[in-house]
């Protein structure tokens, strides 16, 4: 899965990207979006690997895209924003970085530090981009309805939904409030609407404010968090042993990096399940609500084709019984069929005839 980092210029997008991925993008060298893949920190996988000591341990990954900021009130900035929009549309999650940090060396965009207003400005751009797509489509469908055709029923149905989309956007509500069924999502999937995507809002604060600043409270936002990109950069530069002491000094439980990655994964509708054997212990992402059969297909198409059952135990239950042997003896390993809805933390052993 893939998360696009967007926000106004000088909000700290590239700094956040560097904190998460360890890669420092140089937008002076290239104004294009930068991509990097991060492993999803998964302490549960380490426990499983310690149990079976496999040849290989494979973590799940997530891709982050650092999108250059655009001065939205200038024609050139609008042009740049249009240039990066197709990349943003391809994301599964939008991370909106909002500036709250003070740095005399970096004058804030528009000369103000006003997180709520900055978020609102980004939000308006997303709404506006979708409104433009919806309005253009309405024109097309209305024209089609004026011509004789056998597809008028489908067009009328689409027009009714598009009209509701326009009404929502005009009242500043995202399309995720209108497009709610699989059928509707499929009908509009080619438009890749921005306001259908879950948003994670990241408030980038000064290092001395990180424990005292509350996250922004925002409607229609999947998650809202606070971090200091400066602290994260310092953490990344330290040796692992020094990090704990540094975090303790600051009063932080963990680096924001892990929290942000997990938040994006969850906001994107993903859960994690595990497989383990002597060869490999592995974490896998699966959309929430997907079944054991879909999980099997993710691991290998053959496993899904010959699916017999999935022997399943939750991570917590396994830990409570120390290992598989203990869990089996206690009768805690369930035999689940194709339609079983996989839960976060499930460990699956999929039995298949092929």
Residues near ligand GDP, by CB under 6 A:
7, 9-15, 69, 101, 103, 106, 204, 206, 228-230
73 vs 139, beta carbon nearer ligand GDP: 73
Q: In the bound complex, what is the minimum distance in angstroms from residue 215's beta carbon to Mg ion?
A: 22
- Per CB under 5 A, contacts with Mg ion among 229-258 are none
∠ at Cα 199 (290, 223), nearest 5°?
85
Nearer to Mg ion by C-beta: 16 or 48?
16
- Give the span between the Cα atoms of 315 and 303, in whole angstroms: 22
Which of Mg ion, ligand GDP, none binds 11 (CB below 5-8 Å, type-dependent)? ligand GDP
Distance of closest approach, residue 64 Cβ to Mg ion, in angstroms: 12
Complex with Mg ion: residue 13 or 282, whichever CB lies closer: 13
CA distances from 169 to 53, 128, 172, 186, 191 (A): 53, 8, 5, 19, 15
- For the CB of residue 204, give the shortest distance to ligand GDP in the complex, in Å: 5
Select from ligand GDP, Mg ion, none the partner in contact with residue 119, using the beta carbon and a kind-dependent cut-off of 5 to 8 Å: none
Q: Which is nearer to Mg ion, 158 or 232 (CB)?
A: 232
Chain-centroid distance of CA 157 in Å reads 31
Q: Which is nearer to ligand GDP, 243 or 290 (CB)?
A: 243
Q: DSSP code of 254? A: S
CB 20 → ligand GDP: shortest distance, Å?
12
CB 264 → ligand GDP: shortest distance, Å? 17
The least distance separating Mg ion from the CB of residue 33, rounded to whole angstroms, comes to 10
Contact partner, 101, from ligand GDP, Mg ion, none, Cβ < 5-8 Å per class:
ligand GDP
**What is the sign, positive or negative, of the torsion defined by CA atoms of 94, 100, 106, 112?**
positive
Tokens of 269: 């509708």
Q: Which is nearer to Mg ion, 27 or 243 (CB)?
A: 27
Nearest position to Mg ion, beta carbon? 14
User: What minimum distance in Å lies between the beta carbon of 280 and Mg ion?
Assistant: 37
DSSP characters over 43-109: HHHHHHHHHH--SEEE--EEEEEEPPP--TTSHHHHHHHHHHHHHHHT-SEEEEEEE----TTSPPG
- Residue 233 has, within 13 A of its CA and on its CB side, a CA count of 15
Out of Mg ion, ligand GDP, none, which partner does residue 21 contact, by CB within 5 to 8 A per kind? none
Residue 10 contacts which entry, Mg ion, ligand GDP, none (Cβ below 5-8 A, type-dependent) = ligand GDP
Segment interacting with Mg ion, rule: CB under 5 A, options 11-19, 107-115, 120-128, 199-207: 11-19
Query: Which residues within the stretch 281-310 sit at the binding site for Mg ion (CB under 5 A)?
Result: none
Which class for 180: exposed (0-12), middle (13-18), buried (19 or more C-beta within 10 A)? exposed
Please name the residues in contact with 221: beta carbons below 8 A apart, sequence gap of 6 or more.
199, 200, 201
Contact partner, 266, from Mg ion, ligand GDP, none, Cβ < 5-8 Å per class = none
- Span 20-59, contacts to Mg ion by CB under 5 A: 27
The string of DSSP codes covering 288-353 is TT-BHHHHHHHH-HHHHHTEEEEEEEEHHHHHHTSSHHHHHHTT--EEE-TTPBP-TTEEEEEEE-
Residues touching Mg ion, count (CB under 5 A): 3
Residue 312 partner contact from Mg ion, ligand GDP, none using kind-dependent CB cut-offs of 5 to 8 Å: none
Spatial distance between the Cα atoms of 129 and 85, rounded to a whole number of angstroms: 9
Applying CB under 5 A, among 14, 21, 224, 272 the residue interacting with Mg ion is: 14
Please provide residue 251's backbone torsions phi and psi, each rounded to the nearest 5 degrees: 80, 30
Q: Are 15 and 24 in contact (CB under 8 A)?
A: no
Strands 34-39 and 61-66: antiparallel
Contacting positions for Mg ion (CB under 5 A) = 13-14, 27
């Amino acid at each position: 899965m893939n998360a696009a980092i967007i926000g106004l210029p000088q909000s700290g997008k590239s700094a956040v990207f560097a904190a998460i991925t360890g890669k420092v993008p140089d937008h002076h060298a290239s104004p294009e979006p930068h991509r990097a893949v991060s492993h999803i920190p998964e302490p549960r996988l380490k426990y499983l690997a310690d149990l079976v000591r496999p040849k290989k341990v494979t973590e799940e990954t997530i891709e982050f895209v650092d999108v250059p900021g655009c001065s939205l009130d200038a024609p050139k900035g609008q042009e740049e924003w249009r240039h990066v929009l197709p990349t943003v549309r391809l994301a599964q999650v939008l991370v909106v970085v909002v500036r709250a940090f003070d740095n005399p060396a970096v004058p804030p965009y528009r000369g103000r530090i006003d997180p709520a207003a900055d978020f609102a400005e980004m939000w308006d751009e997303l709404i506006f981009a979708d409104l433009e797509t919806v309005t253009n489509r309405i024109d097309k469908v209305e024209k089609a309805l004026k011509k004789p055709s056998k597809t008028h029923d489908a067009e009328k149905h689409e027009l009714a939904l598009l009209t509701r989309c326009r009404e929502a956007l005009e009242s500043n509500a995202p399309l995720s409030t209108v497009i709610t069924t699989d059928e509707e999502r499929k009908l509009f999937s080619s438009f890749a609407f921005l306001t259908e995507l879950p948003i994670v809002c990241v408030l980038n604060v000064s290092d001395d404010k990180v424990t005292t600043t509350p996250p922004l409270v925002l409607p229609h936002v999947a998650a809202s968090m606070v971090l200091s990109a400066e602290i994260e950069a310092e953490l990344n530069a330290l040796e692992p042993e020094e990090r704990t002491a540094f975090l303790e000094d600051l009063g932080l439980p963990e680096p924001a990096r892990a929290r942000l990655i997990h938040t994006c994964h969850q906001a994107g509708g993903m859960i994690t399940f595990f497989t383990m054997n002597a060869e490999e212990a592995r974490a896998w992402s699966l959309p929430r609500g997907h079944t054991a059969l879909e999980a099997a297909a993710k691991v290998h198409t053959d496993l899904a084709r010959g699916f017999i059952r999935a022997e399943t135990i939750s991570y917590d239950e396994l830990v409570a019984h120390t290992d598989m042997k203990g869990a089996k003896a206690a009768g805690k390993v369930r035999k689940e069929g194709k339609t079983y809805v996989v839960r976060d933390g499930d460990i699956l052993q999929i039995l298949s005839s092929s």
